[in-house]
Amino acid sequence: MTGVCEQPVHVGSGAPERVRLAGRAALVEGLTTVPSGRGPAPLIPGSSWKGAVRAVIEAVTPSCERPSREGCRTPEALCPACALLGAPGWRATVMFSDLRPRPGTAPAPASVAQRYSHASAPARGRRLYRREPEEPQPQEREVLLVLPKGTELEGEVAIAGAADEGLGLLTLALGLPPHGLPYLRVGGGKNRGLGVVRFARAVLEGGRGLAAVVGTRGADLTDRIGAWQEAAVRRFPPLKERLAVVRSHY
């Protein structure tokens, strides 16, 4: 699966990093990285974009709300989000790799408005922020390390027993053609002009079950994805209307 950062993306490491700003050394909030032969390599952890996908699926389907998930205690009673992405005692039927930027991608500092809260913040809607930063903006700013706008990403989603309607929900939330949402919001700063990722294409890289249906390694999945998305709309009648609401919000 390939995508691109349409806004800078920040998935924080929780540790400060030293950079040079305006010719002076400064400590800024760092990015999640992994070791590589060329030093720390930035990435978007699989848990991060899985969580972003889950937030969308919970918003557009009759799914339970975190943190209790009291209704999802047996396989027969799982809500759509838990059936696809896992719940206590229930293994997820799709798994997410880390999203890897193109080798050599260098993190960049970005100055953004500091975190804030106000009466009109989206307390509902599972933080499905609009594309533009919210108002009012505070005067204080902070500097974060980010994957720059235009960064190309690559990652994998492994499928292990998901139903067609579940795969439809997954691909709708990811924003995959032909019917997916415009983009996925990933990482921190989503209400401050960060986090838009657009996925453009998915191809088959392996998996005996899928290979039997859609063809050989490298096959484009667009047609199959369209069928999955239509199956999701048939299975969950409120889905079409809720997707329209999310589209208008984005």
Q: Which of the four pLDDT bands, split at 50, 70 and 90, describes residue 104?
A: confident
Structure letter (DSSP) for residue 73: S
Q: What's the whole-number average pLDDT of the chain?
A: 83
Residue 35: Cβ-neighbour burial (10 angstroms; 0-12, 13-18, 19+): exposed
Half-sphere exposure (Cβ direction) of 5: Cα atoms closer than 13 Å? 28
- Does position 33 have pLDDT exceeding 60, yes or no? yes
**How do beta strands 2-5 and 152-154 pair?**
antiparallel
Task: For residue 67, give Cα distances in angstroms to 64, 72, 88, 89.
Answer: 9, 11, 11, 15
- Region 144-164: mean pLDDT is 92
Identify the CA nearest to 57 among candidates 8, 12, 10, 92: 92
pLDDT of residue 243: 92
Q: Which of the four pLDDT bands, split at 50, 70 and 90, describes residue 248?
A: confident
Q: Which residues pair with residue 87 across a beta bridge?
A: 90
- Region 51-73: mean pLDDT is 80
- Does position 204 have pLDDT exceeding 80, yes or no? no
Q: How far apart are CA 25 and CA 19, in angstroms?
A: 6
The whole-model pTM stands at 0.87
Q: Considering only 58-62, 115-119, 206-210, which range has the smallest mean pLDDT?
A: 206-210
Burial 46-68 (b: 16+ CB within 10 A, else e): bebbbebbbbbbbbbbebbeeee
Q: How far apart are CA 111 and CA 113, in angstroms?
A: 7
pLDDT of residue 246: 86
Q: Which of the four pLDDT bands, split at 50, 70 and 90, describes residue 127?
A: low
- Region 115-142: mean pLDDT is 64
**pLDDT of 176-202, one tens digit each?**
989 999 999 999 988 888 999 999 877
Q: How far apart are CA 182 and CA 17, in angstroms?
A: 33
Please name the residue that has the structure tokens 């706008």: 149
pLDDT of residue 209: 43
- Region 127-140: mean pLDDT is 69
> What are the percentages of helix, strand and coil residues in the chain, rounded to 5?
25, 25, 45
- Does position 16 have pLDDT exceeding 80, yes or no? yes
Task: For residue 208, give Cα distances in angstroms to 83, 95, 168.
Answer: 21, 16, 19
Contacts of 235 (CB under 8 A, 6+ apart): 165, 168
